[in-house]
Structure 1
Amino acid sequence: MPQNKRESLIFTVIMCFCMVMGMSVYNVARVHGWQLDLGVVAEAWLGFPPAYLVAMALDVLVASRFAKWFAFRFLVTPGKSAPFAIMLAVSTMMVFPMVLFMSLYGAVEAVTHTGDIAMIPAIWLGNIPFNFIAALPWNLLIAGPLSRFAFRSAFPEGTVLAEPVAR
């Protein structure tokens, strides 16, 4: 787990990349009748940059604050709970607001192709269960472990300082 704000930001960049890319491929494949081919991956990649920027902003400004507040208020106690339990609680709680907001983003993005703004609520509400069912295991079983491995491989414990070194 990240130990300071700098580590947290670096980890968020990595984790957000894994989640947005995975969920983008999942949603494009779902729209294309659950087929997974290079065309689906290419379409997901083309839609990735704006989705990534929106997801990063939501993560930093809304979701992580909610997840930590909820997890530390109702699920775990810092200093008493095991680090694994804290990681599991916060990671799980991140899924709820991110699925709600990114499903709305996906609905708005889908409507840009059709132009039927009245369909946004129906598409949004239809996306939520599909995205939740995919995002929770993707977060806990694939993106989370992969991101933690990549983060600690690139930045071993204690190598990212909380404050820059004065010269």
Structure 2
Amino acid sequence: MPQSRTQKLVFTIMMVLVMVYGMICYNISLEVGGLSNFVFVAGLPELAFMGPVALVLDLFVVSPIVGRRAAKLVGPSPKTPFAMVAAISALSVQMMCPLMSLVATLAIKRPAAPDIVSTWIQTAILNLPMALLWQFFVAGPVVRGAFGALFRPRAVTSGNEAR
């Protein structure tokens, strides 16, 4: 898990990219009636817009709240490290899904004024189960694995072992 501010930023960027792109592809698939190769390409321009929005929301709104709530939920000394990871993951989805569904409703779906709230609620309801499953079973493990490989402590050698 991230130790420094730089590592936390890198981890957050990685997680946002995987979560947002996955959810964009999911929503496009819902729109076009199924998953196809087209969906992966069609999601890229949307990622260019939604990714930075999600990053700003996560860094400045969601993460500070989630960190405090997760610490209260799990307590000062969790029985396993997974308890804190699970709490942060679930609480992040709980907050980010409605926020990003609102952004998508306003910026992408653009419903008529009387339908904004109902479209937002429907979008959030359709996204929440997928976001939770995507976070726990795909994005979380993939990003933690990639992050761990990227920031794995390197063994320090004296140079004598190679001889």
Asked if these proteins are the same fold (TM beyond 0.5), I'd say: yes
Q: Tell me how far apart the structure 2 counterparts of residues 111 and 49 of structure 1 sit (CA, whole Å).
A: 17
Partner of 1:87: 85
Read off the aligned partner of 1:18 and give its amino acid letter.
Answer: V
Question: Mapping of 1:136-155 within 5 angstroms?
Answer: 136-155=132-151
Please say if residues 78 and 84 of structure 2, whose CA atoms lie closer than 8 Å, have aligned partners that are also in contact: no
SS of structure 2 residue aligned to 1:121: helix
Partner of 1:110: 108
Please say if residues 68 and 90 of structure 1, whose CA atoms lie closer than 8 Å, have aligned partners that are also in contact: yes
1:82 Cα offset (Å): 1.8
Q: Where does structure 2 lack aligned partners over 5 or more consecutive residues?
A: 156-163
Q: Tell me how far apart the structure 1 counterparts of residues 48 and 76 of structure 2 sit (CA, whole Å).
A: 35
Number of equivalenced pairs:
155
Percent of pairs with identical residues: 32
Relative to structure 1, the CA distance from residue 80 to residue 36 in structure 2 (aligned partners, 3 Å threshold; closer, same or farther) is: closer
| Bigger relative contact order (CA 8 A; separation at least 6) | 1
Partner of 1:15: 15
**Quick check: 1:76 aligned with 2:74?**
yes
Q: Tell me how far apart the structure 1 counterparts of residues 26 and 69 of structure 2 sit (CA, whole Å).
A: 28
Q: Where does structure 1 lack aligned partners over 5 or more consecutive residues?
A: 160-167
Read off the aligned partner of 1:108 and give its amino acid letter.
Answer: L
RMSD over aligned CA atoms reads 1.8
* Alignment TM-score, normalising by the size of structure 2: 0.88
Read off the aligned partner of 1:135 and give its amino acid letter.
Answer: A
Q: Tell me how far apart the structure 1 counterparts of residues 115 and 28 of structure 2 sit (CA, whole Å).
A: 18
1:157 Cα offset (Å): 4.2
Larger Rg: 2
